Chains A and B, each alone.
Chain A
């Protein structure tokens, strides 16, 4: 096991596993011209930009100020206990969540430097072994983890003050490596020794918690950390959200007309599975969610980085539109943006090398654009929000421009329309299927979609009614959904045609143009329903067991009741028992989950939708930063099929 003890955010991880972005604003505005740009590449010290230009002070962070402030407040409360000094007890675990590349780790490191504490980090390592390690390693990985936690929470690093790299070998092949920073300008040189008793435990590389026993032990370990004395250091856990996964949640949805226990297995890590149900709601745990980085902040950071890079090395920075394009395609992931930027510098310089400035501007930037587009295209580059807008608004050639569009945008739309070829007219008997050419580019949508076909189906299903004017249109949409679901069978994600079929059938069925009534796109309530169903199913299971064990009869009558029978036929009786109040029966109370079904419960659908807006854990479209991103795209690209994106936003604001 290697526990890397890095003080004050030094580069303990050499390879670019995590982003470290350093942007220092300099006033140097112009860069020296260079005739042999290739040398630039070899000039570096072999580190990637993400490591080389990692921010060191808070001002350089591309994270929103408020988020940083949140984390800082938590940390100070954890160390000093807030204004009353009592908060310390409850600041035990901080969970930072957010998409990859939103500077979660970097923020922590920068704050570590500023506030002067050490980060003790756990790392799973199987292969890396120090030279002095014996080959016989009998400790299980999780035991090591536990040992690490214990040690980290009770011991202090005695080498913290030394400036050189000091490594120590503990008895159980544990390597506590201390990398002390050669004093940075922002800190007084004495600070590291003064404050070295302040440290926190960073868990980023987690034990394999998809393995259930390990997960249980992990929960126990964290729990004991919370319950124990106040003296232990706080724990920070960093989780990168993975993309939306529609499939896992309901893979095993097979109601065969008869109930029965069902097992759902979590494949993704989220805060609930990580901390366990009780811990994640306990006061000891604070969660701070990082949003994708706003384009304005990112552009600023990238520009600053370019400035500093080309100030120290010779070369020509890429044009502004290249930076804009990188920002736009990065989708709020600053790590990928920096990577792309570094790559862009290499490419443009190679292309434009030796030729005049004019040529670079004409041919070079076009070529760079093509290359960059190929490189920076990411799977999740189309935001779900906009995807739904595109599909549900069903824009077709010759639609009157939306009222909020500027004249320029409207003209662009018309221009775009010119490029569409009208489909050849259909024979008379098919004339009802005649549609104008669609402005939606199916290929782009399918390749850029952040969600899989089954989740798309759920979203369409949740929202289509608002965009229809007539039941016949609803019929078309529903028929498409039903057909795709039926053809896909139990493995919908394996059908490559499901996604395009869904989109096309929906587009075909929706009215054209879709009347604008301030529609709001809602998240599918399907997940809620499913959860409730699972709960109720457990209630059914309870009652079935109760019946089987002679709850209602003197003799055992096991096996006579199936789950479906109980759910369908026993409710009337259960209700009667409840009403007449026969207490000695001791019917499991859980039966109310399925036996009571008053008319009107759950409203008429409206509140079901409203609730969902923020209820689901996989929030995608309530993040402010993303919307800004969308708006920027519209201005910059004006590619027509982006234009729909702000429709829904406006509608939302109105409503």
Chain B
């Protein structure tokens, strides 16, 4: 028993089901002598990490699959101990510096310097360099990005860096210009259905067309989510006839109901009610950006054409503030109140026009 997402993850570039042209390009890159620094970006669940690990395998052979997990301790300038999990093979090393929060610079600097200063000792290795995979690169702090920038140039002979990010907009320009950008787009529903069917075939059961379609459409281009929903659905309703709802995460339906609350009534008391719900979502570790996005999408579906643009405008506006600010709830709530106010005025004017 294992997660299907992990179990049926393609191991080589040839196994990949979609984005064939990208695979060919990666293959030829890996074959060439000068492999560049790379930046994989695209929405979550599109297959960035899968492509990274396939590329690594293409570069170094099956040796990269022998992984070990280390826990490394870094000391921050304020003498605080940071424990970071590091996954590595003989040829590459994988870190998620955002686990160190504000101290990611320390992790980046210490670790990269250490790797860069040691040469590959395995004479059978195909390449003289090691690869450092940095996950969640877009949540790296400015400091860490600046630290990365210098290292990338200085230690090019011993090391290549592969960054993995959701969007490039939060990376500083010097980093982007030093990397080869690889966009991994989300698969379209057709492609997802192919993957789902592939999994079903491996597991030797039939996947009804409508079920796979439903799952593919619902997951919005997130392959990982689709597979998880698929597996959860299969667990609870073996013939896959059950409603998708039982397999979906609770917080999504929760967000839909919050959107209902916002549209139904606009009053200070309702603001309080919505706040309680937002708090509830936050205590379940749902990132506030995702909360805002999900609720906004739902609200837009429920309101009149005329104010849809405004709702989204304010969502974007308060999302920016959320990033700059400290307490996420203020901005989430400010957006909720703004939408309520917009909606109320719209309905009021509408009624008046009707009356006249």
Chain A residues in the interface with B (C-beta under 8 A): 250, 252-263, 265, 454, 457-458, 461, 465-466, 468-475, 478-479, 481-483, 485-490, 492, 525-526, 529, 532-533, 536-537, 539-540, 545, 547-549, 552-560, 562-565, 567-573, 575-577, 579-580, 582, 584-585, 593-599, 601-605, 608
A482-B325, A482-B331 known, 5 other contacts, Cβ within 8 Å: A466-B272, A556-B67, A572-B232, A582-B1, A597-B250
Interface flag for B116 (CB, 8 Å): no
* A454 near B326: Cβ-Cβ < 8 Å: yes
- Bound CA span A567–B328, Å: 17
Interface flag for B334 (CB, 8 Å): yes
* B326 near A482: Cβ-Cβ < 8 Å: no
Given A454-B326, A471-B344, A584-B1, also A262-B69 (CB < 8 A): no
A259 to chain B, nearest CB (A): 6
* A466 near B268: Cβ-Cβ < 8 Å: yes
* B327 near A526: Cβ-Cβ < 8 Å: yes
Ranked 5 nearest A-B pairs via Cβ: A553-B2, A576-B232, A605-B276, A260-B99, A597-B250
Given A529-B282, A553-B3, also A571-B250 (CB < 8 A): yes
* B330 near A461: Cβ-Cβ < 8 Å: yes
- Bound CA span A554–B4, Å: 11
* A594 near B284: Cβ-Cβ < 8 Å: yes
B68 to chain A, nearest CB (A): 8
A464 to chain B, nearest CB (A): 8
Q: Which residues of B contact A604 (CB under 8 A)?
A: 272-273, 276
Interface flag for B120 (CB, 8 Å): no
* A547 near B3: Cβ-Cβ < 8 Å: yes
- Bound CA span A471–B268, Å: 6
A596 and chain B: residue at smallest CB distance: B250
A274 to chain B, nearest CB (A): 21
Q: Which residues of B contact A474 (CB under 8 A)?
A: 268, 271, 337, 340-341
- Bound CA span A557–B87, Å: 10
B15 to chain A, nearest CB (A): 15
Interface flag for B253 (CB, 8 Å): yes
Chain A binding site: helix, strand, loop or mixed by DSSP? helix
- Bound CA span A469–B201, Å: 60
Interface flag for B279 (CB, 8 Å): yes
Given A533-B283, A594-B284, A597-B280, also A576-B330 (CB < 8 A): no
A471 partner, pick from B87, B96, B271, beta carbons under 8 A:
B271
- Listed by A's residue number, 12 A-B pairs whose Cβ atoms lie within 8 Å are A261-B82, A454-B327, A489-B324, A529-B329, A559-B94, A559-B133, A560-B6, A564-B287, A572-B232, A572-B247, A576-B236, A577-B235
Interface flag for B75 (CB, 8 Å): no
A525 partner, pick from B273, B279, B333, beta carbons under 8 A:
B279
- Bound CA span A86–B7, Å: 62
Q: Which residues of A contact B225 (CB under 8 A)?
A: 569
- Bound CA span A475–B331, Å: 11
Given A529-B283, A567-B287, A595-B250, also A608-B69 (CB < 8 A): no
* B1 near A552: Cβ-Cβ < 8 Å: yes
Q: Which residues of B contact A489 (CB under 8 A)?
A: 324-326
B221 to chain A, nearest CB (A): 13
* B282 near A263: Cβ-Cβ < 8 Å: no
Chain B binding site: helix, strand, loop or mixed by DSSP? helix
B254 partner, pick from A262, A532, A570, A597, beta carbons under 8 A:
A597
Interface flag for B303 (CB, 8 Å): no
* A471 near B337: Cβ-Cβ < 8 Å: yes
Q: Which residues of B contact A567 (CB under 8 A)?
A: 284-287
* B280 near A601: Cβ-Cβ < 8 Å: yes
- Bound CA span A568–B6, Å: 17
A100 to chain B, nearest CB (A): 29
Given A492-B326, A548-B85, also A605-B272 (CB < 8 A): yes
Q: Which residues of B contact A547 (CB under 8 A)?
A: 3, 6
* B341 near A475: Cβ-Cβ < 8 Å: yes
A475 partner, pick from B99, B277, B337, beta carbons under 8 A:
B337
* A597 near B272: Cβ-Cβ < 8 Å: no
A48 to chain B, nearest CB (A): 40
B96 and chain A: residue at smallest CB distance: A562
Q: Which residues of A contact B9 (CB under 8 A)?
A: 557, 560
* A576 near B276: Cβ-Cβ < 8 Å: no
* B100 near A260: Cβ-Cβ < 8 Å: yes
- Bound CA span A567–B87, Å: 21
B76 to chain A, nearest CB (A): 9
Q: Which residues of B contact A608 (CB under 8 A)?
A: 276, 279
- Bound CA span A317–B142, Å: 64
- Bound CA span A582–B231, Å: 13
* A537 near B280: Cβ-Cβ < 8 Å: no
Q: Which residues of A contact B176 (CB under 8 A)?
A: none
B97 to chain A, nearest CB (A): 9
B341 to chain A, nearest CB (A): 5
* A263 near B285: Cβ-Cβ < 8 Å: no
A576 and chain B: residue at smallest CB distance: B232
A598 partner, pick from B6, B138, B250, B341, beta carbons under 8 A:
B250
Interface flag for B152 (CB, 8 Å): no
- Bound CA span A571–B249, Å: 5
B262 to chain A, nearest CB (A): 10
* B273 near A259: Cβ-Cβ < 8 Å: no
A572 partner, pick from B1, B65, B67, B248, beta carbons under 8 A:
B248
A521 to chain B, nearest CB (A): 14
What are the interface flags for B71-92 relative to A under an 8 Å C-beta threshold, 1 for contact and 0 otherwise? 0000000001011010100000
- Bound CA span A261–B99, Å: 6
Q: Which residues of A contact B267 (CB under 8 A)?
A: 470-471
* A482 near B334: Cβ-Cβ < 8 Å: yes
Q: Which residues of A contact B6 (CB under 8 A)?
A: 547, 552-553, 555, 557, 560
A575 partner, pick from B80, B232, B329, beta carbons under 8 A:
B232
- Bound CA span A253–B329, Å: 12
Interface flag for B145 (CB, 8 Å): no
Most B C-beta atoms less than 10 A away, residue of A486, A532, A533: A486
The residues in B between 83 and 140 inclusive whose CB is less than 8 angstroms from any CB of A are 83, 85, 87, 94, 96, 98-102, 133, 135-136, 138-139
* A569 near B228: Cβ-Cβ < 8 Å: yes
B337 to chain A, nearest CB (A): 5
The residues in B between 309 and 342 inclusive whose CB is less than 8 angstroms from any CB of A are 318, 321, 324-331, 333-334, 337-338, 340-341
B224 partner, pick from A260, A525, A565, A602, beta carbons under 8 A:
A565
Q: Which residues of A contact B333 (CB under 8 A)?
A: 461, 478
Q: Which residues of B contact A471 (CB under 8 A)?
A: 266-268, 271, 337, 340-341, 344
Q: Which residues of A contact B337 (CB under 8 A)?
A: 471, 474-475, 478
- Bound CA span A547–B290, Å: 23
Given A558-B67, A571-B250, A608-B279, also A486-B271 (CB < 8 A): no
Interface flag for B23 (CB, 8 Å): no
* B249 near A568: Cβ-Cβ < 8 Å: yes
B249 partner, pick from A457, A482, A539, A572, beta carbons under 8 A:
A572
B253 and chain A: residue at smallest CB distance: A599
Q: Which residues of A contact B331 (CB under 8 A)?
A: 482, 485-486
* A470 near B285: Cβ-Cβ < 8 Å: no
B139 partner, pick from A257, A263, A479, A549, beta carbons under 8 A:
A257
* B276 near A602: Cβ-Cβ < 8 Å: yes
A347 to chain B, nearest CB (A): 45
Given A529-B279, A596-B250, also A536-B285 (CB < 8 A): yes
- Bound CA span A585–B138, Å: 33
